[in-house]
A and B are shown apart, each in its own frame.
Chain A
Amino acid sequence: MREIVKKFVHTIEEKEETFQVRKMNALQGSFLLKFVAEKIIPLIDSFETIFVAGNEEIDSPEKAEEMAKKRTETIIEVIPKALASISQEELYNFEKQCLNTVDMMKPAGWQKVMSGDDFCVEEVEYDPILALMLCFDVIQFNFSGFFGGGALSSLLPRPNTSK
């Protein structure tokens, strides 16, 4: 069965919040791919920690925690570089398109993060870093096959399994 949603956990004000990313359809996905190919592939060095490390085996909770921390740190480091080459309009469209496919788990149930141009949860509305991290989750989920084992695998640094 094809995986249609994937859950991601982010820490907001020391509280773990669950988000789910709904898979984009092929047409929406190709818009995103075009954007990713143009703007983000130049930053491929950092992809080892962001994308490939996600496929590594996690055998202990400590390791999972460490990897999640490393991933967050790398994303925060990569974002300014990625932003430099993107115009405001492109960024708005990109974020809007990504965040429209994300839901957040609220006490009352799943709630869309964005609906059209409007935010539907305050946690993301006033947290630009979290919004961008969710966009990365969307890219990771929609293109993990592409980056992990597909067309770009030869370009990507191999996960280091000797450690």
Chain B
Amino acid sequence: MAKNTSFAVYSLPDVVTVINNPSVGKCVLSKVGGGRITVSYANDMASVTTTATGYVVINKLVAKNGAISMEIPTNSEADSFLRKLIAYVEKAKTSEFALTTLSLQDPAAKRTLNFTGVVPQKKPDEGYDQTSGNRQYTFLFAEMTTA
């Protein structure tokens, strides 16, 4: 069907972000304080090899893993959940380290991003100021699939 409107609608509050770990539980981050989310792939999907004579070979590369970074307001419920999650995976058995999954459902775009093998890359920095700030959570993921 052809688009008969000249605009699209985007709404971050409608994007449902769910993080789930079988040993910790599930949290709908977008309802309890989730903020800006950035997803980036770690690797390129193509590269080029050239010879001295100018012959070009295009390399098709597999790019599945990457990083998610999230801004979470200090002391929000989302913050408490992520602190608990990171504290748990740090101390739990190694086999449980990468069981966390994350999904981003964007109803406006009818698109769902599913991340598996989600692990905390580093613990977020702590900051105490006059007013509350956002904490930067960075997670690495093993694979992203789009549904």
Contacts and interface: CB of A to CB of B under 8 A. Distances in A.
B25 A106 contact: yes
A121 B26 contact: yes
- Number of chain B interface residues as a range: 10 to 19
A121 B22 CA distance: 8
B32 interface: yes
A109 interface: yes
Interface string A121-163: 1100100000000000000000000000000000000000000
Nearest to B85: A108
B85 A120 contact: no
A45 to B, nearest CB: 37
A46 interface: no
Nearest to B96: A107
Given A107-B88, A107-B92, A122-B20, A112 B31 contact: no
Given A107-B92, A108-B88, A109-B84, A121 B28 contact: no
Nearest to A107: B23
Contacts, number: 41
A108 B84 contact: yes
A27 B24 CA distance: 31
A116 interface: yes
Q: Which among A108, A109, A112 has the greatest number of chain B C-beta atoms within 10 A?
A: A108
A122 to B, nearest CB: 6
A108 B25 contact: yes
B25 A111 contact: yes
Interface of B: 20-28, 31-32, 77, 84-85, 87-88, 92, 96
